[in-house]
Amino acid sequence: MLKEYLVAGILLASPLLAVAQDLIPPILEKADSFVEETWSVDSIPKVIYIDGEFASVSDKDGLTLIPPSAHEFATTFQDDLAKITGSNWTLKRVDKLSNNASGISLGGYTGESSDLTYENGKSTSEGYEIIINSNRVFIGGSGARGMWWGTRTFLQLLLAANGTITSTLGRDAPAYATRGYMLDAGRKCYSKDFLKELCSYASFFKMNEFHYHLSDNYPLNRGKNESWRDVYSHFSLLPEDKSLRGILHGRENETLSKNDFAELQSHCASRGVTVIPEIEAPGHSLYLTKWKPELALAKKDLLNLTHPDTLPTVQSIWKEFLPWFKTKEVHIGADEYDAELADDYITFVNKMSRFINSTASKRSRIWGTHEPSKRNQTIDKNVIIQHWQYGQSDPIQLVKDGYDVINSEDWWAYTSLKNDHMPILPARYPQFCNESRVFNFADKEEWQWTPADFNPVNTSLQLKSDDERLRGATLAAWNDNGPDASTQLEAYYSMRRGIAVVGGRAWSGSRGPKLVEKTSDGSVDFYSPRAPDQNLDRVLSLEDNGTLLSWTRSDGDEKEVHLGHGSKGMNYTLTLSITGPFTLTGPDNTLSLDNNGNMVFTADGWEYPLRKVTKDDALDLDPGAPGRIWVNTSSTHKPVKMSTPSEITLVTDALHGTVVFIDGEVVGRFEVFVYGGRNTQFSWSQMAFVAPLDKIVGDLEGLGLTGGSNFTEVGGTGGKESADVPQGSDAVRIPPRGLYTVPTYQTTLHHGQPSDSDYESLSLDVDGDQSLKIVNTHRSGSRPSGAKHMDPTALIPIRMAPDADQNLAASFLQRAIGNAGCLGFPGWRLISRNDEFEREISETEASLKRAEPIEMLIQAGTIVLLLQHGADGLGDTPTNFAIHKHPESCGYDSAKLLLEQVVGHRICFGPEQSHSTLLWYHAAS
């Protein structure tokens, strides 16, 4: 507990902060101040001080062999702050930190080392303390990484509170040392830049390992290829020894060179993440057996471990790459081998583990694999077992037998990019991380998973949370459906929320605060495009007219036009005016129309023509397998021939993929055929392409881009956007400077009679960007049944009690209308505190009949909350509220939190009441 912090004005608090977004992960122990004091990024010097002695500290207890110093972490933090705030920050190394220096101070933890431990009681250099008052932020780490993780907490606070943070004290440390994510790069290649961005994203949620599954092959049983030699296999690294390049099979340009991989490892280390490389053998080894067929068993992706050249060949590959790997642990794969050859398997694993340890002083990991030895052999105890499925390994027995264990139980951890495994048992692997299995482990409501939770069937068989053999957990994303079944960014969409949620739970464990399930999606949507040093959501800034981009060819334009906007990610609507063949390119893909009318997206070297599908197939998603169109439907899937001139609209989200409309009618969609084989059924699956917005060549005459993917609006009935569709960057708008600018405003009192009803209102013009109106509507008698409120897209009224906190009210308003799974405009910041404004509010209230009820309308787009309080009017503290909520708006709890800040005190709701205000809403709708 934070006993040393319980001084005058401080108390322990269970809620983390009264801000619009939840911290992911939450702080382990936190204290709040009674004093209404805030730290504002706009009012302090842009200086970061770091203790000179602590600046040289680098952690020795982590897995990386290239641990950054605290000063190097501070430099990265400095860059992040500059990008988020739009200001230049100075980093100063000082002999001693001053308690009176304004700005941000970084140093060592000021308490006892025993304060900061993993859940098993072992000390950790990953812990930190954070202290925030009106003019200073102090982050003290038990090690350099601890200080780094503290800066991630601070940046989340900074973003969530819009630059103004309530004073607080906190102490935090992870429950487990392994908090990882795995990406299958053996069945699809991923670029260095994508992997770096994914690492930056994961680091923001305090994940510290990237398990790089760098070799594998497409399943042999899918039926896609006539010969096993033609089946896709991949090895992701480029050997410098040219005699080993037979493992690449002509795809040298799809690999990372030694320098590329060094850059990736260095980048990840600079953000607290260690790359754990995995080279698969003796199973999943088609990359090797296609090169040396004599080393294969009858099942061609399995190595013949009795062949005299097999072990030397595998060791020669490891000998090439071990010097590249800047980590104390590596992964040698070793899963799904023939159980009848268990003794050969065990011998191979032990020899490889000993070879790697003697050659490079590294410890080995393997996947849990059933190995029923006939000679009572066992895997060496220093090999770490990554459990992935019951029947292959039993984590409780492994711990009893003396093995360290990592939790990747497939029931909660596995995703299969684009298509789930169906009907493979014991678990279907969804195309997006199933967070509900983390929030409700074993399908038990409110049982939030921890790395100690393995068994979803017999719930009594879990590890103890403080077992010293339990290393932690790793989320896994697999490319079983092959290299063409998804884009690189679709891997991010699959893992986006999972990385945050699993990272949060692996950090907190059973001892820490739980995540808030109902607001977690909104919090991830808020943070994902704002996490520094990545733009995986491919966010663009809105133009003043609300569109993302609008371009029309002028007479002076050449056939080649540089737009220079990169790509726009999920979700979007792109309208193109075309008069002939064209090419629209971006950094992630290319959209083209050829002379024969074929429209094609090209991504990662694969071509995807527009194919004919019916409206029902394209828009009405199969709830059990969204995005998949089964082979027995009426869609022909034949390539569509486009005629010109034409105006076409491409509407895209992650589940529908990219669907094309002409004149409101579905023409087709971009898709991929996924082979079934033994594990899955054959189907066509959606391809969700980002919009390429860098360069135009050819006969494209106009382009318009907006956010959102309202298939109903474009295509008539059907295809409504679902709350289950991952929203990605469409959930937010990012101003150019990152943080929202604190607005200047002017207030004007208006009188009038809209719809035959007396009213008085106050208007706020916020930086000329949006017009917000604060509205009090006075009802004198019954309102006409046909009466309507003012323009619902322009009204966001808020009334604050004089003693309410303006920053908290603004934050909760953002939650209620924009960032908790609701539509809205989270870029708006509302400030109602100045003398002139308060005077006009008072004059308005005085002019109202105090005995009459007064309404407040909180509305944005389709989000409607109608509130009515007691007859005492706004001038007195209201005591009773009735709330009428649009069914698609945010929950009552969010509204309650908002109102508690708006009215300045805690409130409680009674039962919903039928009232004329509800009729007024229907009239307004």
Residue 92 bridge partners (DSSP):
49
> Is 591 within 8 Å of 692 (Cβ atoms)?
yes
Q: Give Cβ neighbours of residue 636 (< 8 Å, ≥ 6 apart).
A: 611, 612, 613
d(CA 479, CA 217): 9
Terminal alpha carbon distance of the chain: 52
> Is 517 within 8 Å of 505 (Cβ atoms)?
no
Q: Which of 652, 477, 478, 482 is nearest to 567 (CA)?
A: 652
| R_g (Cα) of the chain, nearest Å | 29
Q: List, as one string, the DSSP characters of 418-463.
A: SS---S-SS----SS--THHHHTGGG-TT----TT---SSSTT---
Q: Which of 487, 523, 506 is nearest to 412 (CA)?
A: 506
Dihedral (Cα; 889, 891, 897, 903), 10-degree rounding: 50
d(CA 779, CA 756): 10
Q: Which of 201, 180, 63, 177 is nearest to 476 (CA)?
A: 180
**Which SS3 state, helix, strand or coil, does residue 748 take?**
strand
Question: Mind spelling out the 3-state secondary structure of 899-910?
Answer: HHHHHCCCCCCC
d(CA 26, CA 175): 12
d(CA 89, CA 46): 5
d(CA 833, CA 840): 11
> Is 233 within 8 Å of 287 (Cβ atoms)?
yes
Q: Which of 346, 283, 349, 284 is nearest to 315 (CA)?
A: 349
Q: Could you give the C-alpha distances from 353 to 334, 379, 743, in angstroms and in order?
A: 11, 10, 61
Type and span of the H or E element at 828 = none
Q: Which of 800, 790, 794, 797 is nearest to 752 (CA)?
A: 790
Amino acid, single-letter form, for residue 72 = E
d(CA 790, CA 762): 13
> Is 884 within 8 Å of 751 (Cβ atoms)?
no
d(CA 193, CA 295): 35
- CB atoms under 10 Å from CB of 477, counted, come to 26
Catalytic pick among 197, 329, 336, 845? 336
d(CA 195, CA 198): 5
- CB atoms under 10 Å from CB of 256, counted, come to 22
**495 is written with which tokens?**
């893992």
- Respond yes or no: is residue 336 known to be catalytic: yes
- CB atoms under 10 Å from CB of 702, counted, come to 14
- Side-chain-side CA neighbours of residue 456 (13 Å): 25
Q: Which residues are catalytic?
A: 336
